[in-house]
Amino acid sequence: MQKLILPGMIALLTLPACSAEQVYATGRNWQRQECAKLADLQERERCQADADQPYNAYKREADTVQGQP
C-alpha cells in the first residue's frame, strides 16, 4: 500500500504543471499499451482506433456533451 502512495503523491503534485492535452496524450499512450495486450484482432483494432483519436476531436466531443460551443 505504501508503495502506491508515493507515486500517487508525486503525480498529484506534478499534475498542475501538465496541460490538459499532455494528460490526454499520456492516457492515450497507456491505452495503446493496453490495446496491444488484447488477443482478439478486431477488438484490438477497435481499441487502437479509439486510442488514436486526436485531442482536438476529443475536446470537441467533450464540449458537445457538456453543452458548450
CA dist list (Å): 16 to 10, 19, 22, 34: 11, 8, 11, 26
**pTM of the predicted model as reported, rounded to 2 decimal places:** 0.63
To the nearest 10 degrees (0 to 180), the angle between helices 55-66 and 20-36 is 110
Task: Write down the mean pLDDT value for the chain.
Answer: 82
Of all residues in the chain, the percent with pLDDT exceeding 70 is: 72
pLDDT of residue 19: 85
Give the C-alpha separation, 45 to 40, whole Å: 9
Q: How many domains does the chain have?
A: 1
Say if CB 63 and CB 69 are below 8 A apart: yes
pLDDT at 15: 58
Q: Show the domain range for 56.
A: 2-66
3-34: pLDDT as tens digits: 556 566 566 656 565 788 888 899 999 999 99
